Amino acid sequence: MPSASASRKSQEKPREIMDAAEDYAKERYGISSMIQSQEKPDRVLVRVRDLTIQKADEVVWVRARVHTSRAKGKQCFLVLRQQQFNVQALVAVGDHASKQMVKFAANINKESIVDVEGVVRKVNQKIGSCTQQDVELHVQKLDDAVRPEAEGEEEGRATVNQDTRLDNRVIDLRTSTSQAVFRLQSGICHLFRETLINKGFVEIQTPKIISAASEGGANVFTVSYFKNNAYLAQSPQLYKQMCICADFEKVFSIGPVFRAEDSNTHRHLTEFVGLDIEMAFNYHYHEVMEEIADTMVQIFKGLQERFQTEIQTVNKQFPCEPFKFLEPTLRLEYCEALAMLREAGVEMGDEDDLSTPNEKLLGHLVKEKYDTDFYILDKYPLAVRPFYTMPDPRNPKQSNSYDMFMRGEEILSGAQRIHDPQLLTERALHHGIDLEKIKAYIDSFRFGAPPHAGGGIGLERVTMLFLGLHNVRQTSMFPRDPKRLTP
Amino acid sequence: MPSASASRKSQEKPREIMDAAEDYAKERYGISSMIQSQEKPDRVLVRVRDLTIQKADEVVWVRARVHTSRAKGKQCFLVLRQQQFNVQALVAVGDHASKQMVKFAANINKESIVDVEGVVRKVNQKIGSCTQQDVELHVQKLDDAVRPEAEGEEEGRATVNQDTRLDNRVIDLRTSTSQAVFRLQSGICHLFRETLINKGFVEIQTPKIISAASEGGANVFTVSYFKNNAYLAQSPQLYKQMCICADFEKVFSIGPVFRAEDSNTHRHLTEFVGLDIEMAFNYHYHEVMEEIADTMVQIFKGLQERFQTEIQTVNKQFPCEPFKFLEPTLRLEYCEALAMLREAGVEMGDEDDLSTPNEKLLGHLVKEKYDTDFYILDKYPLAVRPFYTMPDPRNPKQSNSYDMFMRGEEILSGAQRIHDPQLLTERALHHGIDLEKIKAYIDSFRFGAPPHAGGGIGLERVTMLFLGLHNVRQTSMFPRDPKRLTP
């Protein structure tokens, strides 16, 4: 190894390797020096996913983590992992490897990053434990490039307590399940934006530090802002509506949303990522509702087309039925949902909100009857919606508002907003809201606002429910809840 | 108007209109009722930008704001505005309009949203004051759809104090300059992501509420987190590096960044949008630096290809030379820049940082010599960079770090990061940093981290400098600084 002699870590070499006299392979393995951008070698590193029979008998260099190692007599088998992909590597005493080199390989810590030169060889029997089943790598050179100080565990499918996983998130994120979950989540964001930009939407950036708590100030985090107090935005709603008042017509944003809610459930976080949409419409809020539903459908289709590998990887650990949806999206009115629930024995008043168990039950009933995991519930009772929700012009107990559900759980809440400052004031008073506290909000409609509607989607919930996972902490890289603020 | 009689605002109609006996056009104008999603009419609304000679002699419906109105005898000229586009409309006494209807048109408040039916007519002389220069709209029906309570001013190119603009941001954002600035900014985000996703990067979402202030705790906002204190993240750096340790290899994020810095300059905000990149490399950090520079070049090219209308709209109010760049990007080493500055008469030590005026001057010198508005300054003195910056293996006074500049102002700061916990500890101690406070940061490298580099870009600065604007508040929709927290 050119670099091994200069290594700042060379003193760590096992004693046996130092005894170089009888080791004919001593130039072929060792611990490489820290990469400090000293050189720009020509060496090409091949991706593990590209190690297929097309590459049989080629000599390649690969950089990957040591997933497992198993020595047996004159051989050492390594499984080399790169993100969701892994391949078997063999170090065997022979022309290229000495007894000492096999021992060196067997002693490499799991989770070390190694640089390996080897010949790709077709195997006679498929290697069931690896993603690259048709080949293995016959190692000729082996560098331990980055050694972990602590030995990490790639937990695979073992049952590990969720808090332990989250405490050691860097290692937990290396598992193929996590790699797949967060690649798919990146895909959701990409598909959301791609669809909306094609529909003529403009992406906006809204402030997270705000001067007044909207909606009365419950569940809001306080920030020290120089000599004053400020708050963390519970949603970009006011700002996206201001963009509508400012004639942007169709806007979306992706950003953090903060809720100081002391809820310790499988689906609540204190900080999550909101995918928000707001849009001016011509005559009816269904124009907007249908655009949002179509955006969700484009996301589902895109995920099933472009992320099958990721879906299957997650399904191996968390088996789940493929996500089903209809085109166009099923729309039920609230009163229809009530009728279905009552037929199933639930007792509910016309203006009662849905409890979480009833939402779940409704999801099952809808799935049975319509064979879809995604639907819109339209025309919620006015009484259970925020003050800025437009009342239904035909039925004063209903509103122009809707939720959307995936596998029986709410992922989006939306509505036509009141764009008339006079009616907005009336409704705020009806809700007993202090007008002083929402003055800026109401004032932004005084310069002429077009009719508009919108909605907010929780990214982590969409990821969780699309994949059929059971806890939103599995789909937040570094989750925040009332009890967790690290890592 | 079918809706006018039912209007909840019908009592507001001018007295003259009520005297219907002699008004033969009374069904053709009025104040429409609030759109509460009562109906779904078939009427198609045509976009102002689509009113061209191709549509000559067609009858169209348009919804737009009244930008200006000017009555003269039996005629009233309206300029109707939609985002960046506007068209002249004419209401003239004749078959379709009565004297009363012209008077009604003349009395509509500026910034009202109107629904207009009219015939598109080719004009003999170009209308220089409108974007749609070849046609005007001969109005047949006119609905005042949304009336502002206060009369807003679309300031156009008038000189208005910046604070006044920001205080009335909703109206200021309606100007064609603002519409163009924020459409272009949306384009920057889109091009950034499009380029990186094509390069195989994964988008990540990192938490903004963190448990410990990184880098020693200066300039950080404190948040009350249930019974404890937490902080707002000053950058996603720790988290994107953790993603590299977790084998995501190439990650990016777009999100808010918070700096509790009491700086009241043209280029500082307390909350801005960070475009962040982090990437594992094979042998040399230039692999990453070149990917970042190429990403910037793809953004510049995409803007010049897809956003010419927006660039020209902004240039009308703020004239500016087109942005120039080279392919591949010019890279200068810090010592070369020092030589250029010294030749220009600046006195600086080898390990001094660049002051803002010297950065500007260097920008001019580079533009003169190389004809580029964008370049990389590589190999900064180690002494002026953060503790986690990798030292240069050849020269202990230099580091593997770089800034990137647009029109002489810094828009990106980046470096190879130290991935070895032992060296990281040494460097932190050298900087006098309390190891206890950065324990979590150092610990995340203990399970084996690949060599990596990255950088962070300020979105508002890129928008400002690409367009040659002079204040970052012009490119933040709702800017936050030590003195401004509203709207």
Count Cβ atoms within 10 A of the Cβ of residue B66 and give its class: 0-12 exposed, 13-18 middle, 19 or more buried: buried
In angstroms, the separation between the Cα of residue A359 and the nearest Cα of chain B is: 27
For residue B3, pLDDT over 60 is answered with no
Q: What is the CA radius of gyration of chain A?
A: 29
Q: HSE, CB side, 13 Å, CA atoms: give it for residue B137.
A: 31
Residue type, A294: D
CB pair distance less than 8 Å for A243 and B477: yes
CB neighbours of residue B448 within 10 Å: 26
pLDDT tens-digit series, residues A7-36: 444 444 444 444 555 789 988 999 888 888
Q: Which residue among B173, B206, B221 sits closest to A225, beta carbon to beta carbon? A: B221
CA dihedral angle for residue B179, residue B183, residue B188, residue B189, rounded to 10 degrees: 120
In the sheet with A330-333, reading across from the earlier edge strand, the strands are A202-203, A250-258, A271-280, A452-458, A409-417, A401-406, A374-378, A330-333
pLDDT score recorded for residue B218: 77
Numbers of helices and strands, H then E, in chain A: 13, 17
Active-site annotation holds for B28? no
CB < 8 Å from B in window 209-228 of A? 209-211, 221-226, 228
In angstroms, the separation between the Cα of residue A172 and the nearest Cα of chain B is: 8
In angstroms, the separation between the Cα of residue B28 and the nearest Cα of chain A is: 19
CB pair distance less than 8 Å for B239 and A478: yes
- Residues of chain B positioned with their CB less than 8 A from the CB of A284: 37-40
A37 touches chain B (CB under 8 A): yes
CB pair distance less than 8 Å for A202 and B224: no
How far the first Cα of chain B sits from its last, in Å, is: 37
Would you say how long chain B is, in residues? 487
A253 touches chain B (CB under 8 A): no
Q: What is the CA radius of gyration of chain B?
A: 29
- Residues of chain B positioned with their CB less than 8 A from the CB of A174: 246-247
> Distance (Å, rounded) from C-alpha A92 to C-alpha A138?
8
Mean pLDDT of B7-15: 44
What values do phi and psi take at B378, rounded to 5?
Answer: -110, 160
Q: Which residue among B262, B273, B440 sits closest to A205, beta carbon to beta carbon? A: B273
Which residue in A has a C-alpha nearest to residue B198's C-alpha?
Answer: A190
Which of B32, B37, B179, B201 should we substitute to test contact with A (largest number of A Cβ atoms within 10 Å)? B37
> Distance (Å, rounded) from C-alpha A23 to C-alpha A11?
18
Counting as low any pLDDT under 70, the low residues of chain A are 1-21, 150-159, 213-217
Which residue in B has a C-alpha nearest to residue A192's C-alpha?
Answer: B190
CB pair distance less than 8 Å for B477 and A239: yes
Active site residues per annotation of A:
259, 261, 267-268, 410, 413, 461
Buried b (16+ CB within 10 A) or exposed e, A66-87: bbebeeeeebbbbbbbbbbbbb
Which H helix or E strand runs over A78? Answer: strand A75-82
- Residues of chain B positioned with their CB less than 8 A from the CB of A190: 193, 197, 203
| DSSP string for A441-485 | HHHTTTT----EEEEEEEHHHHHHHHTT-S-GGGGSSS--BTTB-
Tokens (6 digits) for B143: 């609905």
CB < 8 Å from B in window 307-366 of A? none
B421 touches chain A (CB under 8 A): yes
Give the distance from CA A240 to its chain's centroid. Answer: 24
> Distance (Å, rounded) from C-alpha B26 to C-alpha B97?
9
Least confident of A409-413, B15-19, B105-109, B136-140: B15-19
- A450: preceding bond cis by omega (within 30 degrees): no
Contacts for B346 with CB less than 8 Å, ≥ 6 apart? B358, B361
Q: Looking at B90-228, list the stretches that DSSP marks H as alpha helix, in order from N- to C-terminal side.
A: 99-106, 162-167, 169-172, 176-198
Which H helix or E strand runs over A309? Answer: helix A308-317
3-state helix, strand and coil shares in percent for chain A, rounded to the nearest 5: 35, 25, 40
CB pair distance less than 8 Å for B270 and A209: yes
In angstroms, the separation between the Cα of residue A47 and the nearest Cα of chain B is: 12
Residue type, A185: Q
pLDDT score recorded for residue B8: 42
A231 touches chain B (CB under 8 A): no
Q: By the 8 A CB rule, do A229 and A259 touch?
A: no
Mean pLDDT of B373-394: 96
pLDDT score recorded for residue A312: 95
- How does residue B7 score in pLDDT terms, banded at 50, 70 and 90? very low
Report the DSSP pairing between strands A85-92 and A202-203: unpaired
B382 touches chain A (CB under 8 A): no
In angstroms, the separation between the Cα of residue B176 and the nearest Cα of chain A is: 10
Contacts for B137 with CB less than 8 Å, ≥ 6 apart? B51, B60, B62, B80, B87, B88, B89, B90, B116, B118, B119, B120, B121
| DSSP string for A129-162 | TSSS-SEEEEEEEEEEEE--SSPP---TTS---H
Q: Residue for token digits 């790639």?
A: A154
> Distance (Å, rounded) from C-alpha B433 to C-alpha B21?
86
Q: By the 8 A CB rule, do B452 and B416 touch?
A: yes
pLDDT tens-digit series, residues A371-409: 999 999 999 999 999 999 999 999 999 999 999 999 999
Q: Which residue among A40, A281, A485 sits closest to B230, beta carbon to beta carbon? A: A485
Q: By the 8 A CB rule, do B400 and B440 touch?
A: no
Residues facing residue B375 across a β-bridge: B330, B405
CB pair distance less than 8 Å for B476 and A205: yes
Which of A170, A202, A271 should we substitute to test contact with B (largest number of B Cβ atoms within 10 Å)? A170
pLDDT tens-digit series, residues A244-289: 999 999 999 999 999 999 988 888 999 999 999 999 999 999 999 9
What values do phi and psi take at B253, rounded to 5?
Answer: -150, 155
A88 touches chain B (CB under 8 A): no
B2 touches chain A (CB under 8 A): no
A438 touches chain B (CB under 8 A): no
Which of B247, B443, B445 should we substitute to test contact with A (largest number of A Cβ atoms within 10 Å)? B247
Mean pLDDT of B313-318: 93
> Distance (Å, rounded) from C-alpha A147 to C-alpha A144?
7
pLDDT score recorded for residue B116: 95
Beta strands per DSSP E along A284-408: 330-333, 374-378, 401-406
For residue B154, pLDDT over 50 is answered with no
3-state helix, strand and coil shares in percent for chain B, rounded to the nearest 5: 35, 25, 40
Tokens (6 digits) for B152: 């807003």
Buried b (16+ CB within 10 A) or exposed e, B457-481: bbbbbbbbbbbbbeebbbbbbbbbb
**Active-site residue among B310, B359, B410, B460?**
B410
In angstroms, the separation between the Cα of residue B343 and the nearest Cα of chain A is: 31
For residue B181, pLDDT over 50 is answered with yes
A113 touches chain B (CB under 8 A): yes
CB pairs < 8 Å spanning A and B: 295
CB pair distance less than 8 Å for A226 and B36: no
pLDDT score recorded for residue B35: 87
Count Cβ atoms within 10 A of the Cβ of residue B63 and give its class: 0-12 exposed, 13-18 middle, 19 or more buried: buried
Closest CA to A82 of A42, A58, A115: A115
Q: Which of B137-146, B159-168, B403-412 has the highest mean predicted lDDT (pLDDT)?
A: B403-412
Active-site annotation holds for B410? yes
Closest CA to A302 of A454, A186, A456: A186
CB pair distance less than 8 Å for A202 and B182: yes
Q: Which residue among B224, B286, B476 sits closest to A222, beta carbon to beta carbon? A: B224
Q: Which residue among A39, A65, A150 sits closest to B247, beta carbon to beta carbon? A: A65
DSSP 8-class letter at A420: -
pLDDT score recorded for residue A447: 86
Phi-psi region of B107 (alpha: psi -120 to 50; beta: other; left: phi over 0): alpha
- Give the three-state DSSP class for B295: helix
Q: Which residue among A203, A258, A487 sits closest to B190, beta carbon to beta carbon? A: A203
- Residues of chain B positioned with their CB less than 8 A from the CB of A155: none
Tokens (6 digits) for A170: 């860097």
B248 touches chain A (CB under 8 A): yes
Tokens (6 digits) for B286: 């230039």
CA distances for A150 relative to A30, A78, A84, A160, B420, angstroms: 19, 19, 22, 18, 13
CA dihedral angle for residue B228, residue B232, residue B234, residue B237, rounded to 10 degrees: 80
For residue B17, pLDDT over 90 is answered with no
B152 touches chain A (CB under 8 A): yes
> Distance (Å, rounded) from C-alpha A252 to C-alpha A191?
13
Residues facing residue A188 across a β-bridge: none
Q: By the 8 A CB rule, do A377 and A414 touch?
A: no
Active-site annotation holds for B261? yes
> Distance (Å, rounded) from C-alpha A148 to C-alpha B445?
8
- How does residue B36 score in pLDDT terms, banded at 50, 70 and 90? confident
- Say what the pTM is: 0.89
CB pair distance less than 8 Å for A179 and B248: yes
In the sheet with A209-210, reading across from the earlier edge strand, the strands are A209-210, A228-232, A222-225, B222-225, B228-232, B209-210
> Distance (Å, rounded) from C-alpha B125 to C-alpha A80?
74
For residue B16, pLDDT over 50 is answered with no
pLDDT score recorded for residue A217: 63
Residues facing residue A70 across a β-bridge: A77
Which residue in A has a C-alpha nearest to residue B85's C-alpha?
Answer: A247
Active-site annotation holds for B8? no
Count Cβ atoms within 10 A of the Cβ of residue B57 and give its class: 0-12 exposed, 13-18 middle, 19 or more buried: exposed
- Give the three-state DSSP class for B182: helix
Which of B170, B178, B258 should we substitute to test contact with A (largest number of A Cβ atoms within 10 Å)? B170
A11 touches chain B (CB under 8 A): no
pLDDT score recorded for residue A155: 46
> Distance (Å, rounded) from C-alpha A61 to C-alpha A142?
10
